[in-house]
Chain A
Amino acid sequence: MKRATQTVITLFGVDVLVAVLAMMQQHGNGRPWTFLVSDFIPGAATGLAAVLIWRRRPQNRIWWLLLAASLTFWVGDFEHHSNRNVALIGFAFSRWYDVFLAWAVLGYPNGRLRGRTDRALVVFLGAITSARSTSRLFLFVPADAAGYGTSNRFLPIHDDRWWRQVEDWHARALTAGIVGMLIVIAHRWLTSSRTTRQMLSPALFAGSTLAACVFYQTQLGWNSGIGPGRDVRIYYVVWWAYGALALALSVGMVRLRRTRSAVVDVFSELGHAAPPDRLGVALGRAMGDPSLKLMPWSSAASAYLDPSGQPVDLPADRSGRAVTLIEQDGEPMAALVHDAVLLEDPGLVNAVVAAVRLTIDNDQLQAELEARLADVAASRARIVEAGDNERRRIERNLHDGAQQRLVGTALGLKLAGSRLADSPDPRVHAVLAEAATELTLAINELRDLARGIHPTMLTQFGLRAALESLVNRSPIAIELEVDLPCEPSEVVAATAYYAVSEALTNIMKYANATDVAVRVRGDRQTIVVEVVDNGVGGATLGGGSGLTGIADRIATVGGMFRIDSPVGCGTRFEVELPCGSS
C-alpha cells in the first residue's frame, strides 16, 4: 500500500478514535441520547464525506478540509474533561471547524479558493477564530470556580471583561464573515452554468442554511457554549445543518458523475459519424453547458474553427471556462471550450476527449473514403465510356471498311453471274452464285458482329429505334412499349440497350418463354426498363447468364438492378437508371 494511502487511512482512524472518545466524554457528562446522536451524526457525516471524496478523487483538496473539520468538530466535546489540560484545549480550540467548512464551501468543488475575496474571507475567519482561541487560552476567567470552563493558567488575569469583549467581537466578526460568504455564494450560483449549478446547489443550499443557523446562534450570544438556561435544540439544528452540508458536498460530486452517463448517451445516440458542430451541441446539452464549443482544427487555415467554420482564437483563461486541447500524434485535432467544473472529473474529460478524437478521426476517414469512392466511380465511368467509344470506333471501321468491300464484291459477283447467265458452261454461273451467296452470309455475319459490338442505330436514331430494331430481329414476338419524354445520355442509352439485349438473349437461350414484354418509361430524372417473360424462371446473377457484367455496368452509371425470377414463374428484370439527359 502506498505511503500516502497509509497516512490517509491513519488520519481517518484517528478521526474515528477521537469521535469515540468524544462520545464517551459527553456520555460521562450525563448528556441524553438525543444530544449524543445529534452531536455524533454531523461529525461522522463530515468524516464520511471526506472518505467518499478521497476515494473518488484523492487529488481534490476538499476531502482533507472535511477531515480537518471532522477532527476539530470533536474538540469542543472535551471542554468538560476531568483533565484540566485536555479541557483547556477543548475549550480554546472549538469552532475551528467553521474555518475548514467555510474553506470547503468557498473552494468547492476542487478545494481551491478562486480569488482575493475567497482568500480574504478564509483568512478573516481564521484570524478571528485564532483571536478567540488565544483569548480563551490566556484571557479566560470562569464565572465561578464550580462553573463552566477552566481557570486561566498562564496569566494572572482576574477581570473577565477582556475575554468577553473578544467573544463579543468574535461573534460580530463571525456574523460579518458569514454574511460575506452568503453574498459570494449567491453571486457564484447566479453566474454559473447549469452543470456547475447542479454541482453547487446542494452544497450552497446546505451551506447557506448552516450559515444562517450559525448567524442566529451568534446573535443569541451563545458563543460561550451550552450552559444552564440554554435551549439545546438550536444546537441540534446547527449540528444537523453541519452534517447536511458535508453530505451535500458529496452529492454534488455524484451529480457530476451522472454527467458522464449523459455524455456516453450522446455518443450512442449520434453514432460515429456526427459532425463536430452537432457533436458540440449535443455534448453541451448533455453536460448542461450550453456554451460548450467543439472547435475542429483546420490545417488549411492553421486555426481552430468556430461552429460557423470561421477561424477563431481560443479564449484566454478566465474564471469558470477551461480549454481542453485534443491532439492526435502530436498534431492538433480540436479544442473543447467548457465549464471549468468539468475538470473536477478528469475521467469524464478524458472520456470525452477520447470519444471526440474517435469521432473526428472517423469523420475524416469517412470523408477520405467518400472522396476515394468518388474517384473510383469516376474512374469506372471513364473506363466504360472509353470502352463504348472504342466499340463505336470498331463498329464504324467494320462498317466503313470490311462490310462495304464485301458488299461491293458481292454485287460484282452477282452482276458477273447475271451477265454469264447464258454462258455455255453452267458451272461458271453456279460458282459465281455460290460465291455471292457466301459473301452475303459473310456480310450478314459481319453486320451482326458489328451490331453486337455497338448498335449503330442507337447512336444515330436513339434508344427507341435501337430497341425496335432489336425486338424486330427476335425470332419470337415481343411486345415493346417505350415512353420517354427525352433522350437519355449516350452512356445511359447504351446501358439500357445492353441490359435489354442481354435479358432477351437469356430469354432466347434459357427461358422457353412464349410471351415477352419490354417496357421503357421514364421522366427527366430516371429511366425504368422492364423485361418480363413467362418462361421457366430461376434466373440469377452469375452462372454464365451475362447479368453480372450488366449489373456492373448499371452500377457504374449510378443505376439499380433488380431481378425477380422464382422457378417456374417467369422472370421480371428491372433496371432503374439516372436519365442524364443529353
Chain B
Amino acid sequence: MARTAVVVDDHPFVRTMVRRLLEEAGFDVIGEADDVRGALRLGADLQPDIMLLDVQLPDGTGIEATRTMRTWETSPAIVLISTNDYADSAHLCGADGFIGKADLSLETLRAAVGPT
C-alpha cells in the first residue's frame, strides 16, 4: 500500500508540481494546504505518512508548524522545502529533512523520505 502524503505550499503551481513529483515517486497525495493552519489541520485530520512543508508561508513558517506537530503523540515525517537554505534550522526544529526547491527531484525526494 502506498504511503500517504500531504503537500503544503502557498504557490499553486509549485504545489501542483510537487504533488506530481510525489505521485511519480509512488506516494498517494491525500491533501494540499497553503498555510500553517491548513498544514496543522491536515496533519491532525488525515495523519499522512509524510508531509512536504514549505518554510515561508503566509501565516507563519514551516519550522513553527514542525515544532508544533512534534509535540503531538504521532506526527508525520516532515520534509521542509524552500528556495532559501534552511537546512540547519530544519534539523534543529525536528524535521526529517530539508530539500531546496531548486534541488527538488525524484532522486532528492527519495533520498529524503526513503522508499515508498
Q: Could you say which of B18-26, B43-51, B67-75 contacts chain A?
A: B18-26
Indicate whether A408 sits within 8 Å of B102 (C-beta atoms), given known contacts A415-B24, A460-B56, A461-B89. no
Chain A window 385-409, contacts with chain B (Cβ cutoff 8 Å), 1 for yes, 0 for no: 0000000000000011001110110
Nearest residue (CB) in B for A411 is B17
Indicate whether A405 sits within 8 Å of B85 (C-beta atoms), given known contacts A415-B21, A460-B56. no
B102 pairs with A444, CB closer than 8 A: yes
Tell which of B14, B83, B86 has the most Cβ of chain A within 10 Å: B83
A404 to B9, CA, bound (A): 10
B84 pairs with A457, CB closer than 8 A: yes
User: Chain B residues with Cβ under 8 A from A403's Cβ?
Assistant: 83, 101
Tell me if A187 is interfacial: C-beta within 8 Å of chain B: no
Indicate whether A407 sits within 8 Å of B101 (C-beta atoms), given known contacts A415-B24, A443-B83, A461-B89. yes
Nearest residue (CB) in A for B11 is A404
Indicate whether A473 sits within 8 Å of B83 (C-beta atoms), given known contacts A410-B102, A418-B24, A444-B102. no
A468 to B89, CA, bound (A): 10
Which chain A residues in 301-355 approach chain B with CB under 8 Å?
none
A440 pairs with B102, CB closer than 8 A: yes
Indicate whether A472 sits within 8 Å of B85 (C-beta atoms), given known contacts A415-B21, A415-B24. yes
Indicate whether A472 sits within 8 Å of B102 (C-beta atoms), given known contacts A407-B14, A408-B17, A418-B24. no
A407 pairs with B106, CB closer than 8 A: no
How many Å from the CB of A507 to the closest CB on chain B?
Answer: 20
A456 pairs with B56, CB closer than 8 A: yes
B14 pairs with A411, CB closer than 8 A: yes
A407 to B84, CA, bound (A): 12
A443 to B105, CA, bound (A): 14
User: Chain B residues with Cβ under 8 A from A443's Cβ?
Assistant: 83, 101-102
User: Chain B residues with Cβ under 8 A from A468's Cβ?
Assistant: 88
Tell which of A407, A410, A456, A460 has the most Cβ of chain B within 10 Å: A407
> Which residue in B11, B21, B24, B84 is a CB contact (below 8 Å) of A447?
B84
Q: List 30 A-B contacts (CB under 8 A).
A: A399-B56, A399-B83, A400-B10, A403-B83, A403-B101, A405-B13, A407-B11, A407-B14, A407-B17, A407-B83, A407-B101, A407-B104, A410-B104, A411-B17, A411-B20, A414-B105, A414-B106, A415-B24, A440-B102, A443-B83, A443-B101, A447-B84, A447-B102, A456-B56, A456-B84, A460-B56, A460-B61, A465-B89, A472-B85, A472-B88
Interface residues of B (CB under 8 A from A): 10-11, 13-14, 16-18, 20-21, 24, 56, 61, 63, 83-86, 88-89, 101-106
**Which 4 A/B pairs are nearest by Cβ-Cβ distance?**
A411-B17, A408-B13, A404-B11, A443-B102
Given contacts A403-B101, A411-B18, 8 further A-B contacts (CB under 8 A): A400-B11, A411-B21, A411-B105, A412-B20, A419-B24, A443-B102, A456-B56, A468-B88
